Amino acid sequence: MNKNVYIATLITGIFLIISCTEDAKWIITTESHPWVAGKPLKLSQSEIRCDVIIDTSQTEQTIEGFGACFNELGWVSLNRLKEEDRKKVFYELFNPGSGANLNICRIPVGANDFSRDWYSYNETDGDFSMRNFSIEKDRETLIPFILEAKKYNPDLKLWASPWSPPSWMKWNKHYACAITGKGTDPKFQNNLDPDKQGKEGTNMFIQEKEYFSSYALYFSMFVKAYRNEGIDIKMIMPQNEFNSCQIFPSCTWTSAGLSEFIGKYLGPELEKIGVDLFFGTMERADEALADTILNDPDASRFVRGVGFQWAGKKAIPGIHKRYPGLTLYQTEQECGNGKNDWEYCCYTWSLLKQYLENGANAYLYWNISLNKGGFSRWGWQQNSLLTVDPDSSTFRYNHEYYLLKHVSHFVKPGAKRLSVTGSFRNLLVFQNTDKSVICVMQNQDPYPKEISIGINGRNVKPLLPANSFATLVLN
């Protein structure tokens, strides 16, 4: 063997040794043991028939990120913690590279269902010029909440939506749309007269020019006021769940009503101040609701994306197929019942898969933190990423937090979702801009399951524990 052949053979041998011993790192979560590092796995060059085949050339949508919503009751709960513990929570949630890496968050415009009580930024009837507009109430809760998060992630991307306009802009002159039930605890009552209830498919907002113009100004003043607080809002959605009549702040609109408001008033107003507009949030499976806006010549000029939540999950596949270049957000994860149990965590995984497999560019959880019990001002118990015990001033991260972290910690903004083939499909796969490949998997069976994963001629075989989630990082 001559010298050149010997050197070439030696280099090839070294390459094969490196290839066969390269480690794949992974993290595992079970109901009783969250976020446990698995033993490093070896990537092999052997040609076996794999359960999962990843093709890094077959890319789908770009991921913008993951987040949650800044709600008043979230700040109230976190303020029950010791300062040192509160700082640890914000570091874990928002500091890039440390924990959940939350980078896109939602803000309510005025009160939402997890506010301390109803309020808007101007409850002066007939004040169309917004002389009495004020965000003073937000300085008590939402503004410090957001600014604390921005200490850890100054590049936090923020968008906002209202649950209700000022009550005087609605024909029933009330923040709610539906009455509370008979026998409801008085502290949860909204005191709406039965004859002033709204209903789906109608406009509760007064459909007159001076109201439209004034409401567009309301949004503009909100954005500018928050900018003065050091909070830059990048995008607005004009109405949360515009089909839903609720006992808490809510306002039904028709698609035609929103189309007129967006195309002639809100769109031009937001364009002047450099803020994007999405249509949403859409909580129904009826794709035609979005089509009305996206095909309107005036409104469509301003719509940069669509937001979906709840039953909107059934509409996102069709909208993504027909408008493949449109940015799509999952805007609010379904909220659970306050138990924060493993069963709902597993349901949450089905939501993650539904939205991300059908084109969602961002996925947002709902409540960041709640006091034990998870009660809203209007009596609804909901889940949260973490729960605070106000009696002991302690907290715990819930199952759904770790599941979200299984994705958000590893999948970075700019990542592409990858298509996969094979017999095992209970997973999501992404490739980051640094070329690392992230496989997030669930084993829903009550026994361990070995999964062979093939990528670029190599394979790895993690043994997934029974009833678990796992994230595998392939460099």
Q: How confident is the model at residue 9 (pLDDT cuts 50, 70, 90)?
A: very low
309 belongs to a structural domain: yes
The answer to whether residues 104 and 117 belong to one domain is yes
Give the start-end residues of each E strand in 311-404.
327-332, 362-367, 369-371, 386-389, 394-397
What mean pLDDT do residues 387-397 have? 98
The tokens of 345 are what?
């965590």
Which of 3-12, 182-191, 219-228, 338-347 has the weakest average pLDDT?
A: 3-12
The answer to whether residues 68 and 83 belong to one domain is yes
Domain boundary among 410, 432, 455: 410
Give Cα 226 distance to the centre of its chain: 21
The tokens of 413 are what?
């903004």
449 belongs to a structural domain: yes
- What is the predicted pLDDT for the residue at 47? 67
- Res. 214: pLDDT tops 70: yes
Domain boundary among 410, 439, 463: 410
4 belongs to a structural domain: no
pLDDT digits (tens, 9 = 90+) for 234-273: 999 999 999 999 999 999 999 999 999 999 999 999 999 9
Q: How confident is the model at residue 4 (pLDDT cuts 50, 70, 90)?
A: very low
- Res. 23: pLDDT tops 90: no
Residue type, 413: P
The answer to whether residues 156 and 108 belong to one domain is yes
Whether cis (ω within 30° of 0) applies to the bond prior to 62 is no
Which of 6-15, 119-128, 331-340 has the weakest average pLDDT?
A: 6-15
The answer to whether residues 272 and 368 belong to one domain is yes
- What is the predicted pLDDT for the residue at 5? 34
2 belongs to a structural domain: no
7 belongs to a structural domain: no
Q: How confident is the model at residue 21 (pLDDT cuts 50, 70, 90)?
A: very low
What mean pLDDT do residues 72-78 have? 98
pLDDT digits (tens, 9 = 90+) for 287-335: 999 999 999 999 999 999 999 999 999 999 999 999 999 999 999 999 9
Q: What is the number of structural domains in the chain?
A: 2
Are 90 and 148 in contact by the 8 Å Cβ rule? The answer is: yes
Are 215 and 168 in contact by the 8 Å Cβ rule? The answer is: no
- What is the predicted pLDDT for the residue at 17? 32
- Res. 8: pLDDT tops 90: no
Q: Is 9 exposed, middle or buried (0-12, 13-18, 19+ CB in 10 A)?
A: exposed
- What is the predicted pLDDT for the residue at 2? 45
The answer to whether residues 169 and 208 belong to one domain is yes
- What is the predicted pLDDT for the residue at 48? 79
1 belongs to a structural domain: no
Residue type, 106: R
Q: How confident is the model at residue 452 (pLDDT cuts 50, 70, 90)?
A: very high
Domain boundary among 410, 432, 451: 410
9 belongs to a structural domain: no
181 belongs to a structural domain: yes
The answer to whether residues 469 and 376 belong to one domain is no
The answer to whether residues 338 and 440 belong to one domain is no
The answer to whether residues 52 and 68 belong to one domain is no
What is the dihedral sign for C-alpha 25, 30, 36, 41?
Answer: negative
- The average confidence (pLDDT) of the chain is 94
Per cent of the chain over pLDDT 70 is 95
pLDDT digits (tens, 9 = 90+) for 145-178: 999 999 999 999 999 999 999 999 999 999 999 9
- Containing structural domain, residue 241: 64-410
In whole angstroms, give the CA distance from residue 215 to residue 260. 13
- What is the predicted pLDDT for the residue at 14? 30
CATH classification of the domain holding 34: 2.60.40.1180
- What is the predicted pLDDT for the residue at 168? 98
The answer to whether residues 245 and 320 belong to one domain is yes
The answer to whether residues 109 and 257 belong to one domain is yes
- Res. 20: pLDDT tops 60: no
- What is the predicted pLDDT for the residue at 161? 98
Contacts for 45-50: CB closer than 8 Å, 24+ residues apart: 45/16, 45/19, 45/20, 45/457, 45/458, 46/459, 47/457, 48/452, 48/454, 48/459, 49/452, 50/422, 50/452, 50/453, 50/454, 50/459
Q: How confident is the model at residue 87 (pLDDT cuts 50, 70, 90)?
A: very high
- What is the predicted pLDDT for the residue at 22? 55
The answer to whether residues 433 and 351 belong to one domain is no
CATH classification of the domain holding 345: 3.20.20.80
The answer to whether residues 214 and 326 belong to one domain is yes
- What is the predicted pLDDT for the residue at 184? 86
- What is the predicted pLDDT for the residue at 418? 98
